[in-house]
Amino acid sequence: MQSLIAAWILPDQLLEPSNHPVLQESLRESGGDQKAVRVLLIESRRHFTALPYHKKRLTLYISAMRHYAGELRSAGWQVDYLREETFADGLQRHCQANRWQRCVAMEALEHPTAQLQKQMAEKAKEFEFNLIVNSQFYWQQTEYVRAVSKNVIMENFYRAMRRQFQLLMDKDGEPEGGQWNFDSENRKPLPKKLQLPKELQFEPDEVTKEVMSDVENDYSGHAGNTKGFNLPVTRKEALTAFDDFLQHRMVDFGPYEDAMSHSKGRLWHSVMSPVMNLGLIDALTMCRRAEAEYRAGRAPIQSVEGFIRQIIGWREYIHWQYGRQMPDLRNANGWNHTRATPRFWWDGQTDMNCLKQIVGRLIDSGYNHHIERLMVLCNFAMLAGIDPEAVANWFLTMYVDSHDWVVLPNVIGMGLNADGGKTATKPYIASGSYINKMSDFCSHCKYQVKKRSGEDACPFNYLYWYFLVENEKKMRSNPRMGPNVLGLKHVSAEERVAITQQAREFLDSLNYYTDPAYEPDDSAI
């Protein structure tokens, strides 16, 4: 009789069953006998409490896993869905009860879980552990990226990906439309009259309702709540959400991708990252379908190129940086920032309207779009000198699409420039005038965005100028940051003193939070 093989699939490896590397390898090992394979999905409590994750994030993860068990069963697989304290507990107990001797798993995307798997592969006595290479990212198939030994900037990485996968390339091998990116056409401010397509809602089914109840009971001290959960949780729903984006939002996505609104969070963004990061929809398929919209004349090049750049450029680059920089990245602190996160990052109680709206929406939904994250939240964290690891842990906690591999390079590297400039060559800092240009937040704010210092001056302004004053020498030595400090020559010595004093008083006046520590599931067998 063929001995049983355990196929362990992690919560963010919910790939299409017919293409799943773990299932393919298990089938190969069993000589094609599907009945000799038991698929294990393990809800590890420790994994879900590594930080006080937002309850909508937990609902998304757990509901997607439970639905995936159903998808696998419909495809003929035997599935055991386990709820355990740790991954190791689940594997050990299942192994003892079912007497299997081989386990197939795919390398985790997240470093702590990948380390755990390596330990298991080396030390597990009761079974052999076949750990196969992760194939969830496309850069691994790109000769240029695989061959490169030094750091590359995102633009070069992106061009290599476009060439490799022949995305938006013309027949002469040149970029479609004669240029590689249309960034300059993708920075339109918020239109005066906001007309947005209807939001597609995915009403929770019985499985999701049960998960919502479990999350409220089992993870009661976590951030946010489950109320109003409406994200897609299955492959079918993910595809429906993407179809809806292509049909109703893609056209305006590009020009307004950096715009922000006082009243609406999503604007024309796809919000596909939560399902994409769980493996429910494939990145390259999405890019090809977006390109098809352009080829069919239904979407302009600047929107399609902007979308493809986010996925095959930024997302893949971020994952590549994570692999290059871990484990040091978690503690990188190139600007020596040490403050804790302010309490209003956790409760939204602040008079700064941009932050109040953005954090308020985040607490409610677990989502902000990329410019709100980069140019308001990371910008504030950088100017206020918040410890990069505390910022990263906050992002990991609060966002429905957060994963270690994306948050660490994106926040510590790109947003806070704390990795010595490996991910981005300059910090993304801006005064209130940038926020005012790209949004309507300031017209609803008690602070004066035009004032640099003094009573009611916008805190982003004096914090920005204070940062330049404090870091003038460092900024001047970087050719990309130099232009930021040029404006300092228009600031008198008296005003420098006033700005410095006001910024320090502001920072001293904030209530700070006791930031939670990151404690991943690392219990080995």
Structure tokens at 111: 């470093």
**Shortest distance in whole angstroms from residue 460 CB to ligand SF4:** 5
Q: Closer CB to ligand SF4, residue 117 or residue 436?
A: 436
Report whether 329 contacts 413 (CB < 8 A). yes
For residue 327, whether the previous peptide bond is cis, meaning omega lies within 30 degrees of 0, is yes
Among 42, 459, 465, 475, binds ligand SF4 (CB under 6 A): 459
Among 445, 481, 498, 525, binds ligand SF4 (CB under 6 A): 445
Instruction: Please give the Cα distance from 459 to 447 (Å, whole number).
Output: 8
Helices 493-509, 459-470: inter-axial angle, 10-degree rounding: 110
- Residue identified by tokens 């204070």 is 466
Q: Closer CB to ligand SF4, residue 318 or residue 435?
A: 435
Site for ligand SF4 in 325-354 (CB under 6 A): 352-354
Our finding on whether 438 is near ligand SF4 (CB under 6 A) is no
Residues touching ligand SF4: how many (CB under 6 A)?
Answer: 14
Instruction: Please give the Cα distance from 54 to 485 (Å, whole number).
Output: 38
Pairing of strands 37-44, 102-106: unpaired
Q: How far is CA 290 from the centre of its chain?
A: 21
Among 458, 463, 469, 475, binds ligand SF4 (CB under 6 A): 458
Site for ligand SF4 in 350-379 (CB under 6 A): 352-354
**Shortest distance in whole angstroms from residue 184 CB to ligand SF4:** 23
**Shortest distance in whole angstroms from residue 380 CB to ligand SF4:** 9
DSSP summary character for residue 457: B
Degrees to nearest 5, angle at CA 407 with 185 and 380: 70
Q: Closer CB to ligand SF4, residue 158 or residue 344?
A: 344
Helix locations, 197-314, DSSP H = 206-218, 235-248, 250-253, 273-276, 283-295, 301-308
Q: Closer CB to ligand SF4, residue 59 or residue 431?
A: 431
Distances (CA, A) of 327 to 269, 322, 386, 416, 464: 32, 9, 21, 17, 31
**Closest residue by Cα to residue 366 from 210, 218, 226:** 226
Among 435, 463, 498, 503, binds ligand SF4 (CB under 6 A): 435
x/- mask, ligand SF4, residues 78-117, rule CB under 6 A, reads ----------------------------------------
The H or E element spanning position 244 is helix 235-248
Q: Closer CB to ligand SF4, residue 436 or residue 484?
A: 436
**Shortest distance in whole angstroms from residue 139 CB to ligand SF4:** 36
Among 204, 254, 274, 432, binds ligand SF4 (CB under 6 A): 432
Our finding on whether 259 is near ligand SF4 (CB under 6 A) is no
**Closest residue by Cα to residue 183 from 316, 371, 317:** 371
- Residue identified by tokens 């390079």 is 409
Q: Which stretch binds ligand SF4 (CB under 6 A): 11-19, 147-155, 378-386, 454-462?
A: 454-462
Structure tokens at 210: 């049960």
**Shortest distance in whole angstroms from residue 358 CB to ligand SF4:** 9
Among 226, 436, 453, 502, binds ligand SF4 (CB under 6 A): 436
Instruction: Please give the Cα distance from 51 to 47 (Å, whole number).
Output: 9
Binding site for ligand SF4 (CB under 6 A): 352-354, 432, 435-436, 441-442, 445, 447, 449, 458-460
